[in-house]
């Protein structure tokens, strides 16, 4: 979902390099959503993205700090809602 929304190829989200700034931000956003919305552990997210759990923790903190911007916060609320709706549809 994040790759589609941010127009970043999925392969860049899990690429082992830091990549472009837009790909790194998309990766951080995906990690944040996985942890906050889905409740996945930092360690599991790190393994999925080829990163250490401390990197995931840093990404979550960074995204949380960006929520101070009203426009970014509204976008994140929309993504969280969409992710929750997708999860509900899969359970029905």
Q: Which two tokens stand for residue 80?
A: 């969280």
Instruction: Note the pLDDT tens digit of each residue in 3-17.
Output: 999 999 888 888 777
Residue 21 zone, left/alpha/beta (φ > 0; ψ -120 to 50; rest): alpha
Instruction: Note the pLDDT tens digit of each residue in 20-76.
Output: 888 899 999 999 999 999 999 999 999 999 999 999 999 999 999 999 999 999 999
User: What DSSP string runs through 54-66?
Assistant: HHHHHHHHHHHHH
What share of residues in the chain are helix, strand, coil (percent, to 5)?
Answer: 75, 0, 25
pLDDT score at 46: 96
**What class does CATH assign to 2-91?**
mainly alpha
pLDDT score at 44: 97
pTM equals 0.89
| Burial of 17 from C-beta contacts in 10 A (0-12 / 13-18 / 19+) | exposed
- Where do the domains of the chain lie? 2-91
């Amino acid at each position: 979902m994040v790759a589609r929304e941010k127009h970043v190829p999925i392969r860049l989200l899990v690429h082992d390099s830091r990549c472009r700034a837009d790909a790194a931000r998309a990766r951080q956003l995906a990690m944040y959503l996985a942890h906050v919305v889905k409740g996945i552990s930092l360690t599991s997210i790190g393994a999925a993205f080829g990163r250490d759990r401390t990197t995931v923790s840093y990404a979550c903190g960074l995204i949380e700090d960006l929520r101070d911007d009203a426009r970014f916060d509204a976008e994140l609320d929309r993504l969280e809602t969409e992710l929750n709706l997708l999860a509900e549809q899969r359970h029905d």
